[in-house]
Each structure stands twice: as structure tokens, then as C-alpha cells.
């Protein structure tokens, strides 16, 4: 196609719609004219694209899966913290990479569970014909996946304190892909609701006796996209931000997505490549660096070749 084969200068975006997905991915990874690939999505596709693209000598950045945790210290502002947890877990129906899907309640903060459940229960689900807090999931398959993970997790011993399956919605929308706010407690790392990125409005609740144990839980998870801590103690926050292994860290902020002038970072299984999205690193990713060394002072050339490294005189 001419729009692909010819170099075009200007605001032109090529959208590939005439190839099966696998063929289009391989084409992008293999075509020598494409020198860099920026990908955002799941681990299966992203790791394939990274391996194939870099194998062909391309520069590839890939933001992958996530399991974002929040640590709640007992000295945190209770109302702000609960509102933040529920909003970050259920906003966009949980269908965003920075959804806060795990809350680790430290010490006496474990007593806040009933209040978290009640705050989540107040959120309204619907099609958006009137003011709602949560819309539908993107496909019937996405809805069924959430149901299946909850079924399996309950069988594994998790307690579903607030069940958002089959929520009440306006008449005529009963067959929609709706899942209401869901709170699951008694969660352990071995359960599907913890090990899988659910991509639904589900908040997993865990407990830990100390902040150090909470950090150990986070760092033992394979993903390192984002995390947050809620506390009124600056020393605790500083210790957390240094010891936790995640790309984006929020202090009393549930979704620590940076402004565009800063980089969208990640670590471990949440990223492939060493140049991040956003900010100066994004400019570097799409820039091929070239160094030019020139010499115009040739009038004083000697009669003998110099074998040493050239130096500035």
C-alpha cells in the first residue's frame, strides 16, 4: 500500500484492518521499515512481540500485566483511604491497568473491612442512561471470566463479602455485561483472584501484621506496575517508597499515574524493554541518537600519519 510504503511527513496515522491479528503482529515485528514498536497490553502478546521484535533488531517497549496493591496503615485517614480504595478498584469497572485490585490492611486497619464493604455497596451500576458509577464490562467473555475467577476463589477458601455478580440494573439491560462492586477477603497468594489480573470491579483484601510483611507480599508478586500506601507517618511512607519494588508509587494516592512530563514506569513482569513510556524517556525511545565528530582545522596537517587517538589541540 502506498500509504505504508511511501514516507509521509505530516499528521497521518496508518490503521491496519485488512489482516488477521497474528499476521498483522508478525508483519509489524518483521518489516524492516518499522524500526520501533510501542505496545500496551497483556503478557502473552507483549512478551511475544518483544521477543520477535528485538530478535529482528528493533527497539521495543512493552507495558504488560499488573496486580496493583495498596498498603493501609492504621494511622491513615480512614474516610479518605476507604473512598480511595473503593474508587480505584471499581472505577472504569476495574478495566484499567492501574486499577487497585489488592488492599493489604496492616494491624488494626483490618477492622475497616465492614466499612470498605459498605462504601463499595453504595456505588451504582448501570448502562449510563442516567448517572452511574460503573458501566458494563467490555464483552460477555470478560464478564464470564470475572464470574469464573470468583467461583474458583470461593472454592479455594476466599470469602466474598460483597458479591457483584448479577447486579440490579434498569429493565431492558438484564443481559448486559454488568458486574457490580465486589469485595473478597481472606485472600492468599495461591488463590486465582490474587494470581490473575481480573480486569473487573473486584477488590481483594489481605491482612499483614506489619508494613514490612506487606511490602514482602507486594515484592513477591511477579508484577510491579503500581502500588500505594496510606499513612499519616512520613517516615513510614519514606521507608515504603524505598523498599517496594514497583514502578509507580503513590503516597495517599490510589492511582499514581504520572503527568505526561514524567515517565510511566514499571518493573519485573509488568514491563519489557528498558525505555519507559511518557516524558523524556518516550522522546528518547522514538529518537535515534547520532554523534557527529568533525574537523575543519586541516590547514596545519603534518607530513606524517598520527597513530594515536585524535585529540583537540
Looking at the annotation, which residues are catalytic? Answer: 97
- Name which of 251, 248, 221, 224 is nearest 239 in CA terms: 251
Q: How far apart are CA 179 and CA 92, in angstroms?
A: 11
In a 13 Å sphere around the CA of 134, the CA atoms on its Cβ side amount to 33
> Count of CB atoms within 10 A of residue 97's CB?
20
DSSP state of 258: P
Q: How far apart are CA 128 and CA 293, in angstroms?
A: 61
- Name which of 24, 112, 99 is nearest 69 in CA terms: 99
- Name which of 67, 43, 26 is nearest 198 in CA terms: 67
Contact 234, 76 (CB under 8 A): no
Does residue 195 sit in helix, strand or coil? Answer: helix
Q: How far apart are CA 207 and CA 191, in angstroms?
A: 15
92: Cβ–Cβ under 8 A, 6 or more apart, which residues?
Answer: 99
For Cα atoms 240, 229, 200, give the angle at the middle one, nearest 5 degrees. Answer: 130
Amino acid at each position: 500500500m502506498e500509504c505504508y510504503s511511501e514516507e509521509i511527513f505530516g499528521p497521518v496515522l496508518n490503521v491496519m484492518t485488512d489482516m488477521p491479528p497474528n499476521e498483522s503482529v508478525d508483519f509489524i515485528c518483521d518489516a524492516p521499515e518499522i524500526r520501533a514498536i510501542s505496545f500496551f497490553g497483556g503478557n502473552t502478546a507483549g512478551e511475544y512481540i518483544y521477543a520477535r521484535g528485538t530478535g529482528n533488531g528493533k527497539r521495543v517497549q512493552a507495558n504488560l500485566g499488573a496486580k496493583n496493591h495498596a498498603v493501609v496503615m492504621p494511622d491513615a485517614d480512614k474516610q479518605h483511604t476507604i473512598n480511595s480504595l473503593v474508587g480505584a478498584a471499581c472505577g472504569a469497572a476495574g478495566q484499567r491497568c492501574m486499577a487497585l485490585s489488592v488492599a493489604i490492611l496492616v494491624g488494626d486497619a483490618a477492622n475497616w473491612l465492614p466499612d470498605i464493604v459498605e462504601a463499595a455497596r453504595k456505588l451504582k451500576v448501570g448502562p449510563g442512561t442516567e448517572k452511574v458509577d460503573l458501566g458494563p464490562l467490555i464483552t460477555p467473555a470478560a464478564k464470564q471470566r470475572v464470574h469464573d475467577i470468583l467461583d474458583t476463589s470461593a472454592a479455594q477458601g476466599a470469602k466474598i463479602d460483597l458479591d457483584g455478580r448479577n447486579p440490579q440494573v434498569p429493565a431492558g439491560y438484564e443481559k448486559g455485561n454488568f458486574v457490580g462492586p465486589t469485595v473478597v477477603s481472606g485472600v492468599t497468594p495461591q488463590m486465582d483472584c490474587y494470581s490473575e489480573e481480573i480486569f473487573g470491579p473486584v477488590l481483594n483484601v489481605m491482612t499483614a501484621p506489619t508494613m514490612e510483611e506487606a511490602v514482602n507480599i507486594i515484592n513477591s508478586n511477579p508484577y510491579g506496575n503500581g502500588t500505594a500506601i496510606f499513612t499519616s507517618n512520613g517516615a513510614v511512607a519514606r521507608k515504603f517508597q524505598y523498599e517496594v519494588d514497583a514502578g509507580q508509587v503513590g503516597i495517599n494516592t490510589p492511582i499514581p499515574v504520572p503527568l505526561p512530563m514524567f515517565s510511566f514506569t514499571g518493573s519485573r513482569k509488568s514491563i519489557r524493554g528498558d525505555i519507559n513510556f511518557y516524558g523524556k524517556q518516550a522522546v528518547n525511545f522514538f529518537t535515534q541518537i547520532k554523534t557527529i565528530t568533525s574537523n575543519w582545522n586541516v590547514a596545519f596537517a603534518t607530513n606524517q600519519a598520527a597513530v594515536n587517538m585524535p585529540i583537540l589541540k
